Structure 1
Amino acid sequence: MPRITSAALSLAKPYWTDPVERRLAWVLALIILALAVAFTELNLWLNELNKSFYDALQNMNAPAFQSSMAHFFTAVGILVVVATAAEYTEQALNIRWRRHLTHALVGRWLDGDTFYRIERDGLCDNADQRLTEDIAEYVRLMLSLSKGFIINLGSLATMGWVLWKSAGPMSFDIAGTHLTIPGYLFWLAVFWGALQTLVTHLAGHRLAGLTVAQQSYEADYRFTLAKVREASEQIALYRGQAVEQGRMQKLFGQIAGNWHQIMRQNIYLNVASTGFSVIAVLVPIIAISPKVLSGELSLGTLMQDISAFAATTTAVAWFARSYRDLFQLSARTRRLEALRLAMAPPPAPGIRVARDPDTDDVAGRGVALALPDGRPLSRVGEFLFEPGARWMVRGPSGVGKSTLLRAIAGLWPFGGGEVRLPAGARVMFMPQKSYLGDGTLRDTLIYPADPGSADDATLAQLLRDCRLPHLADRLDEIAHWGHRLSPGEQQRLAFARALLYRPDILFMDESSSALDNDTEAHLYQMVIDRLPDCTVVSVAHRTTLEVFHPNTLHVAAPA
């Protein structure tokens, strides 16, 4: 528990100490605190009105009864205003805190190649859920539980004092010994609340781990459904629906199995909480009945004490009543902390990639590729790609040709050696399947440059030049282009991107594999003609591309 508390506070600290955000954050927090104090005072007032109300009924005092009712509705009206203002202020603080934490974690996730490294090395599952649901729930629970804790402290102080004064001492004769307990009803409420907390903890302590597991299973199921949606065409062509259904059933089986364990734990927790809630109504009545029956206390005082006893017990048993929320907070904190650890700087890479301001070449020295477990993949050795040169990377399948490009990009640290790139060069990598995001075709074509960096006439002509004339008039159309376009259209669009970006160094990994020979030759010739000074390095199996690449780098498996 101390480790989880430390992690929860560590996640919160940046927002509350941020030079820009902290002033308004603390102002909103103080407003919530002030409203919580007002809420406590109003509950105290209602407790006193409760006594006046029942005393007026017992004494058949109509004017006093009417006065109590008028004050009661006034207090309720003020209470509604205070509760509404507190809720609004809490929501305002919630969205500001959530925005700050989201921007910070997403910024770290997208910093450098962190997001790719997490997926490549399997450091953390379902980062998308952690950056959305877990952040939202963490902030909500932190605010809700903090406010509830403060309100309960106020209730404990005020209602406990009412209980101490109102019920007074209780005397007992035990084995001939006269014993007097001052504020006995207060101590009984404290004992009852502590007992409820202990029993609730024993009944539900396994829920923490089960809740974390449930969130992971739910995320895995949702992620797999999203993958099926993304690959719907391929699955339909393979007629793989039955396989996917079996996979879905297996994943949901994990959800259901874990849920049954949660259900069992909730049985114990509900029996404990419900039992205490029902019995708690009778405890103060039984405890105070001797004074009522003797005429020492009035009906109003009895009702006041019952209300104060319930409030005091509730305050002491705050941990028991907040058990599920505390476990939820613990689960969300663990998941966010795991993501933060996964985003920590990686160890020093085996393949070092550096930007050199004193060279225009792409050079490798002693480059050896390996798998993540350390097994050797291939030994490339030395290579030098001069400015404007065109190279083809050849070798048998599985030897690591695409991995070499990942290593040059700094995405594959496994192995050894050094790669040197020109410091100021514009470098672009074209994978076999390019990323096409949702949005307008214009933004998809311009990516990764800023929207608006090219006029529509230029973009339309570029699409025509890349043999996509049917897209030239659809720049404003919004679609999921990764599904809308065929593999060949996607690769032609990628060439258009490269011509628009005008890189100094262009790496292509099977970037024309879905094109016919004529279109492939047309696009490569456009790259040569329009980017004459561009260094081009291609990974390809087709011999038809040899004419465009005078130089060849052979990659072979280690001996």
Structure 2
Amino acid sequence: MAHAVSLLWPNYSGILKEIFKDPESFRRTVTTLSRRYRTSLAGLVFIVIAALVAAKRFHSKSKQQKRPGLSQRQSSAVILKDGWSREIYVPNNGKLSRVVISPTKPITFQAHRRLFFDPIANNTHKQIGVNKKFLHQFSAIWAILVPRFRSKASMLLLIHTLFLFVRTYLSLVVAKLDGRIVRDLIAANGTGFIKGLVYWLLIAIPASYTNSIIKFLQSKVSLEFRTRLVRYIHDIYLDDTLNFYKVSNIDGGIEGIDQYITADLIKFCDAAASLYSNLGKPAVDFMIFSYQLRRNLGPLAVVGIFSNYFATAWLLKAMAPSFGLLTSVEGRLEGEYRNAHSKLITNAEEIAFYDGTALERSILIKTYARLASHIRAILRIKVSYIMFEDFIIKYSWSALGYLFSSLPVFLPNWSGDDAKTEMAPSLKAANKDFRERDRMKQFITNKRLMLSLADAGSRMMYSIKDLSELAGYTARVYSMLATLHRVHANAYGNKNPQVRARKQHKIKLYSLEDVQGTMYEGFDGIRFEHTPIVVPGLGRDLSAGELLVKDLNIRINPGEHLLISGSNGTGKSAVARVLGGLWPVFRGLVSKPLNKDISFLPQKPYLSNGSLREQIIYPSSEIEMYEAGKTDADLLDILRMVRLEYLPDREGGWNTKKQWKDVFSGGEKQRVMFARILYKQPRFAVIDEGTSAVSSDVEGLLYETCQKLGITLVTISHRPSLLRYHKAQLRLGEGAHGDEWVLEQTGTDEARLSVEREIAELEEQLGKIDELKHRRTEIADILLGKKTAGNSGV
């Protein structure tokens, strides 16, 4: 190494002395730089200034976040002046970041509805791919991603585009500089060579920054796309119409919506952002480099280049498999595999008790085998396609590039204007060496331009495959959004009477096309007026519903506690689902209080991920609790009412967070549900088997406490002992077909006979206990005898 330096130093030291021996000469050298390099330096200064301004803004924002006086609550939510947006402060890297959330307005959903009811985009007979259907689907989603020009996503795309132009310009400068460096190297022009290296290093700074910022902006665009879509989906998925329940249980149009939101959405946003970069940069390169090559190589070369691109695009499109369909199927299989694991986690205890490990393992193995088989098929398809693609793009294009770059050498009269003007002094001087060096410079410059143009073209051609994959992701995201809009608008079937008549469309009785009832909120009580209770069929195939209760016609006034009884499958819980808005009102009128005046206690207790305090006040937040004037002392009083006052001490305080579904016993879970009712103190409470795991004495205490607080109870239960806490009983499952109902007032002869009849049935069942025990002993003896015989045979 030292020997090499000693050999090179005399040459380079002389060059450096020649450059810097005269300051005036050095000044003239700097001022005579070409306009292109001065522009590059100006661009570098601009980028550095922009980076400094951005850093200053970030620093000032950080100081503002550290400023005392900001709310540092764990869940802050402040409604802004527009009455719609919310402002929250969330922890971020040890600081507080201000986030403004603007929920999607209902008028926006109405405006977008036509985009997601588009018959072209929803055409199931059209194959998934880059076609008219894909364009309609992507344009509908684009209205969510970039709603207006002044949106954040629009600004990010604009800045991204600006840097794409900057990178293209820098690539052009680097190509010319590369040619000059090679020319000076061949000519042994040390001064020019050193200058070229200095310029190269200077341009490397903005070029490196530009490449880095483009990748950063691509990630920012993807994140902004995902943020907008997630907020939009949350607003329509988790709204007052209970879409999160109806999508899976009533519509049935898509399965595993969590896979769509958590996985497919990410892939779509990444593909859309990367495709913009992979198409935007090559498109800019294509225009600028083509123009420059037109000047250097002439029109013949440019025509040949464009002809090559069009021929390649046609070949690749003709040979390309249906990547969109393959990607869509892969996403569906990924969702099935994910759902299989989710089901295993959710029902782990039940599966363990049933000893279903082997069966569940076989289900997971088969589900994954289908997914792996499909992925292997995709890989096999990609092998041949990528081989053909690489041969065309990497090698055929390189050969054509060398051919076109040689035109100024072998056919100088066919070359471009720049080549002719640069060759004229050489011809006049008749200097063969200089002419060769000049040709070398032109060749290196044109070669780099051709390589850059080939890279741009190859990225555009590779984007054909990426575009097909984007079509698959777009189809899945669009189907999810279309389903959410359909459920949100209750738009099932064809609403056009002319189309129905032309297609001889027949509406099935009690299908989701046949919803003609009305739900009224704000009534002082609960009322069913000639309302059938129907299990709705799935909306995707518009199947007919199953009638459970015929023509229900009752009214519950405040203070008139009602017990709903009947055997399994008669529609007891279905009445609560219709009243709660989960199931549609097919006929008649259902009137109920406002949501704040009625609470529902379902059969399966739900415990959220949060503190012990949040289990009691659910669905209210801690801020809403404090704003209502409630304290932890009030919560402790409520726990005393339900005999759970020991929980704060046992669990470590109100702020303790655990997996409460695994901590509480069955009886404790149901009493926590009653604590929620006592905390909210609604005017009406619908309780569906809410005390099945509670002892009779505590059960009576819970009902008496609710009645003392003025809560009108509507109880769904099999227990006849609860009749004493109610003034009326609604018996379902009556009549020959089991769809009739009977309403009785407690204390009447009919009610007493009904209770006595139920007690007699229970006593009859209890009388068979000895007989059943004897039969159990006989079966055990038989099994034991077989086992003994088997052992003796061995």
Candidates 348, 352, 356, aligned match of 1:236: 352
Note if 1:346 corresponds to 2:490.
yes
Query: How far does residue 317 in structure 1 lie from its aligned partner after superposition?
Result: 4.4
1:61-111 Cα distance to aligned partner (Å, 9 max, x none): 333322222222222221011223333444444434432332122101112
Quote the Cα distance in structure 1 between the aligned partners of 2:163 and 2:405: 33
2:729 aligned to 544, 552, 556, which one?
Answer: 552
2:471 equivalent to 1:327:
no
Give the whole-Å Cα distance in 1 for the aligned partners of 2:516 and 2:249.
Answer: 16
1:272 aligns with 2:401: no
User: Secondary structure of 2:444's match?
Assistant: helix
Q: Equivalent residue for 1:508? A: 687
| 3-state SS, counterpart of residue 141 of structure 1 | helix
Confirm whether residue 153 of structure 1 aligns to residue 283 of structure 2: yes
> What's the CA shift string for 1:220-241, capped at 9, x where partnerless?
2112212211222222121111
Query: For 2:269, what is the secondary structure of its paired residue?
Result: helix
Q: Deviations over 1:515-546 (max 9, x none)?
A: 232332222222223x23x2211111122212
Any conservation in 1 of the 2:218–2:277 contact (CA below 8 Å)? no
1:315 is matched with: 456
> Residues 354 and 378 (structure 1 numbering): CA distance in 2 closer, same or farther, change over 3 Å?
closer
Distance 2:406 2:162 in 1: 37
Distance 1:8 1:290 in 2: 43
Q: Highest Rg: 1 or 2?
A: 2
What amino acid maps onto 2:607 in structure 1? L
Is contact 1:192-1:313 (8 Å) kept?
no
Find the counterpart in structure 1 of residue 672 from structure 2.
493
Q: Residue 232 of structure 2 is aligned with which of 95, 101, 104? A: 104
Q: Map Cα deviations across residues 261-306 of structure 1 (whole Å, 9 max, x no partner).
A: 2112211221122212133323322454576579888233223223
Deviates more, 1:429-438 or 1:296-305: 296-305
Name the CA distance, whole Å, in 2 between partners of 1:401 and 1:333.
42
Report the counterpart of residue 478 of structure 1 in structure 2. Answer: 657
**2:248 matched residue in structure 1:** 119
Choose the corresponding residue for 2:318, options 202, 215, 229.
202
Q: 1:528-539 maps to which residues of 2 (within 5 A)?
A: 528-529=707-708, 531-532=709-710, 534-539=711-716
Aligned twin of 2:18: none
Partner of 2:719: 542
Taking the aligned partners of 2:454 and 2:304, their CA distance within structure 1 comes to 9
Matched residue of 1:128: which SS?
helix
CA contact (8 A) 2:533 2:552 kept: no
State the alpha-carbon separation in 2 of the partners of residues 425 and 70 from structure 1.
74
Q: Distance in 1 between matches of 2:457 and 2:205?
A: 28
TM-superposed CA distance for 1:397, in Å, is 0.9
1:405 aligns with 2:576: yes
Which one-letter code corresponds to 1:58 in the other structure? I
**Change in CA separation of 1:425 and 1:159 when aligned onto 2, cut-off 3 Å:** closer
What whole-Å deviation, never above 9, does each CA across 1:389-432 have from its counterpart, x for those lacking one? 11111122112111111011111116433211135861111101
1:284 counterpart letter in structure 2: G
Q: What SS does structure 2 have at the residue aligned with 1:478?
A: coil
Name the count of aligned residue pairs.
540
Structure 1 unaligned segments of length 5 or more: list them: 169-182
Write the letter of the residue equivalent to 1:10: A
What is the DSSP-based 3-state SS (H/G/I as helix, E as strand, rest coil) of the residue aligned with 1:298?
helix
Partner of 1:79: 207
**SS of residue paired to 1:130:** helix
Aligned to 1:337: 478
Shift of 1:50: 2.0
Structure 2: stretches of 5+ with no match in the other structure = 1-130, 412-434, 492-512, 538-543, 741-794
Q: Does the alignment pair 1:527 with 2:706?
A: yes
Seen in structure 2, the aligned counterparts of structure 1 residues 291 and 38 have a Cα distance that, compared at 3 Å, is closer
* Match of residue 68 from structure 1: 196
Rounded Cα–Cα distance in structure 1 between residues aligned with 2:467 and 2:646: 57
The match for 1:384 among 541, 544, 555 is: 555
CA distance 1:212–1:439, shift in 2 (3 Å): same
Does the C-alpha gap of structure 1 residues 49 and 156 become closer, same or farther in structure 2, counting only changes over 3 Å?
Answer: same
Task: Determine if contact 2:324/2:471 at 8 Å carries over to the other structure.
Answer: yes
What is the rounded CA distance, in whole Å, between the counterparts of 1:104 and 1:198 in structure 2?
A: 38
Query: Given the superposition, is the C-alpha separation of residues 303 and 484 from structure 1 closer, same or farther in structure 2, using an over 3 Å criterion?
Result: farther
Q: Does residue 55 in structure 1 map to residue 55 in structure 2? A: no
Residue of structure 1 in register with 2:293 after alignment = 163
Query: Which amino acid in 2 is paired with 1:471?
Result: L
Pick aligned residue for 1:304 from 421, 445, 452: 445
Q: Cα 1:24–1:257, aligned 2, differ >3 Å: closer, same or farther?
A: closer
Query: What TM-score do the two structures reach when normalised by structure 1?
Result: 0.90
Deviates more, 1:439-448 or 1:91-100: 91-100
Change (3 A) 1:239 1:380: farther
In the TM superposition, 1:152-191 aligns within 5 A as 152-168=282-298, 183-191=299-307
Which residue of structure 1 aligns with residue 399 of structure 2? 282
CA deviation map 1:287-338 (0-9, x unaligned): 5457657988823322322322233234344442123432332222212211
Superposed CA deviations along residues 198-242 of structure 1, whole A, max 9, x for unmatched, are 333334331111101111211221122122112222221211111
Which of 322, 325, 328 lines up with 1:212 in the alignment?
A: 328
Question: 2:517, 2:586 within 8 Å by CA — same for their partners in 1?
Answer: no
| Equivalence for 2:636 | 460
Residue identity matched to 2:387: V
Q: Which residue of 2 aligns with 1:451?
A: 622
What's 1:171 paired with? none
Match of 1:9 in 2: 139
Partner Cα distance (2:548, 2:490) in 1: 21
Residue of 603, 609, 612 corresponding to 1:441: 612
* Relative contact order higher in (CA < 8 Å, ≥ 6 apart): 1
Contact 1:193 1:317 in 2 (8 A): no
* Equivalent position amino acid for 1:323 in 2: I
User: How has the CA–CA distance of structure 1 residues 300 and 13 changed in structure 2, closer, same or farther, with 3 Å as cutoff?
Assistant: same
- Summarize the Cα distance change of 1:243–1:519 in structure 2 as closer, same or farther, 3 Å threshold: farther
**Conserved? CA contact 2:685–2:714, under 8 Å:** yes
Q: 1:439 to 1:259 in 2, by over 3 A?
A: same
Deviation digits for residues 13-50 of structure 1 (CA, Å, limit 9, x no counterpart): 245335xx925444333322221111110010111112
SS at 2:610 equivalent = strand
Corresponding residue number in structure 2 for 1:172: none
Which amino acid in structure 1 is aligned with residue 609 of structure 2? D
In 2, Cα distance between equivalents of 1:184 and 1:256: 50
Cα distance in structure 2, aligned partners of 1:38 and 1:497: 61
- Mark the CA change 1:24 to 1:84 in structure 2 (over 3 Å): closer, same or farther: same
Q: Structure 1 residues 512, 239: CA separation in 2 closer, same or farther (over 3 Å shift)?
A: same
Tell me, yes or no, if structure 1 residue 431 matches structure 2 residue 602. yes
Cα deviation for residue 495 of structure 1 reads 0.6
Secondary structure in 2 matching 1:153? helix
Residue aligning to 1:179: none
Does residue 1:258 correspond to 2:374, yes or no?
yes
Letter in 1 for 2:395: V
Q: 1:304 to 1:425 in 2, by over 3 A?
A: closer
Give the aligned residue type for 1:236. Answer: A
Amino acid at match of 2:526: V
Question: Normalising to structure 2: TM-score of the pair?
Answer: 0.64
